[in-house]
Chain A
């Protein structure tokens, strides 16, 4: 009998204790934030979407080789002599046109391994993490700054240059006596 009343009382009493706790929480300021309006400070070394500063990229392909999942595809074309490929920010002259620099973020595992080998520190992590897409193809980002026409042009230019050189070589071969072989006209790296 005593047990019974004790049970009844403790049942009721514990409900009141619980209600006291929840009532207190009614006045605790919310711990959540209104996400798209307010954002949390990201950690200092967060790893999100990569960005490539193409002004500095020399097309050395080191990042692509470092990538464990092969999601960076780089194609380069040598600049023909007399053409100004541009300079990096620390004043070095570039030698290669980067005609393709695709990073497939659907494959990227955000390991940051591509960032370290870059000699010009032009590939790095940004704080952008909202880039979902409905189609997987849209996650392939094209970083190359040349327009499509320019890319074709550069390729054709170089092919032409090669062909000219080959023709010249053939000519030299055909008349070996007159002209000695010299490498002057090869593009300087």
Chain B
């Protein structure tokens, strides 16, 4: 484990803790956000037959860095009638919530922030924490658009938590564990051992599981998409109706924190989906490290596979964003309560029956 490595390196528990907790931020979230912002702009541009940013660097690759430099220089504006303490805490809270989720994400067999037994539940709880920050931001801005956006966001995140948790429950019923590392280890071997293809067990049950798991996968993908407020579920931000939702009044670095946490969240939910259904960090075809007998290579390869899968799902999120129009509030609720939850319940029942038998 990477913790032991740092412990040996520094010789102190505390330093090892600090380094390990900062690691995902600096080696992962920040570079990922830099990359994802540009990637999103490029994907959206090419989907609309445009070119996107082209000026800064070759084909605009330095655009995000230029944007960050601009954001840092911006004035930090606090509205006169805002509730200042809440207004200042909100972005930190939102970012903390989405960052906390990274603690339990298994990037590779050697690199997981904290190997807690309640991994999946922890991530769901931590991302639910974000709601508080969003509500705070909306309320303290003292602006009707912000408040409306925050209310919508709270309603949405709480409703869509239910199908997510139901699907996660069905996974727990099959595997009997909530530890993400164990979950990923169980799906080892080749891609037919992934949960989306019925999990590691063999026999008749596997073939019954396959269609159910694919449906479950679609459900959890839709509901996590809604939890991170991405289009078509971006009614909390809804720039054409609510200016920019709960972060309308924010500027400069505080705005950047909301932005960063949005992108961190995008990856976090993709990572959950990957870890639960697509084998986590497991390679679909086997490892080069095993082939050459170089075992130190395996964790690095695992990291590669995990990021590749995660980024693929981030790409799908962007793809959906530029494909679908925004849902109305009633449609949003109808989709959740009339389709996702009943179907998830039925799946849960079937899986329960099969595992009991």
A interface residue numbers (CB < 8 A to B): 7-8, 11-12, 15, 18-19, 21-23, 25-32, 34
Closest CB-CB distance, A32 to chain B, in whole Å? Answer: 5
The answer on a CB contact under 8 Å between B54 and A34 is: yes
The answer on a CB contact under 8 Å between B323 and A19 is: yes
Assuming A12-B218, A15-B324, A34-B54, is B339 touching A22 (CB within 8 A)?
A: no
Closest CB-CB distance, A4 to chain B, in whole Å? Answer: 8
Assuming A8-B339, A25-B46, A26-B43, is B322 touching A32 (CB within 8 A)?
A: no
| Count, chain B residues at interface, CB 8 A | 18
Assuming A15-B324, A19-B320, is B51 touching A34 (CB within 8 A)?
A: yes
The answer on a CB contact under 8 Å between B50 and A32 is: yes
Q: In the bound complex, what is the Cα–Cα distance between A8 and B47 (angstroms)?
A: 26
Question: Quick one: CB contact mask for B216-257 with A, threshold 8 Å, 1 for yes?
Answer: 001000000000000000000000000000000000000000
12 contacts between A and B (CB under 8 A): A8-B339, A11-B335, A12-B218, A15-B324, A19-B323, A25-B46, A25-B49, A26-B46, A26-B47, A27-B46, A30-B46, A32-B50
B34 within 8 A of A: no
The answer on a CB contact under 8 Å between B54 and A28 is: no
The one of A11, A12, A22 in contact with B47, judged by C-beta atoms closer than 8 angstroms, is: A22
Given contacts A25-B47, A30-B49, 12 further A-B contacts (CB under 8 A): A12-B218, A15-B320, A22-B47, A23-B319, A25-B46, A25-B49, A26-B46, A27-B46, A30-B51, A31-B49, A31-B50, A34-B54
Q: Which residues of B contact A31 (CB under 8 A)?
A: 49-50
The answer on a CB contact under 8 Å between B324 and A18 is: yes
B48 within 8 A of A: yes
Q: Which residues of A contact B124 (CB under 8 A)?
A: none
**Chain B, residue nearest A30 (CB):** B51
The one of A18, A27, A32 in contact with B51, judged by C-beta atoms closer than 8 angstroms, is: A32
Q: Which residues of B contact A32 (CB under 8 A)?
A: 49-51
B343 within 8 A of A: yes
The one of A19, A29, A30 in contact with B319, judged by C-beta atoms closer than 8 angstroms, is: A19
Question: Quick one: CB contact mask for B40-84 with A, threshold 8 Å, 1 for yes?
Answer: 000101111111001000000000000000000000000000000
Q: Which residues of A contact B324 (CB under 8 A)?
A: 15, 18
Q: In the bound complex, what is the Cα–Cα distance between A22 and B323 (angstroms)?
A: 6
Closest CB-CB distance, A178 to chain B, in whole Å? Answer: 83
Q: Which residues of A contact B49 (CB under 8 A)?
A: 25, 28-32
**Chain A, residue nearest B340 (CB):** A8
Q: In the bound complex, what is the Cα–Cα distance between A28 and B49 (angstroms)?
A: 6
Q: Which residues of A contact B343 (CB under 8 A)?
A: 8
Closest CB-CB distance, A116 to chain B, in whole Å? Answer: 41
Closest CB-CB distance, B47 to chain A, in whole Å? Answer: 5
Q: Which residues of A contact B47 (CB under 8 A)?
A: 22, 25-26
Q: Which residues of B contact A29 (CB under 8 A)?
A: 49
Residue of A8, A27, A28 with highest tally of chain B CB at under 10 A: A8
Closest 6 CB pairs of A and B: A18-B323, A22-B323, A30-B51, A31-B49, A22-B47, A26-B46
Residue of A19, A23, A29 with highest tally of chain B CB at under 10 A: A19
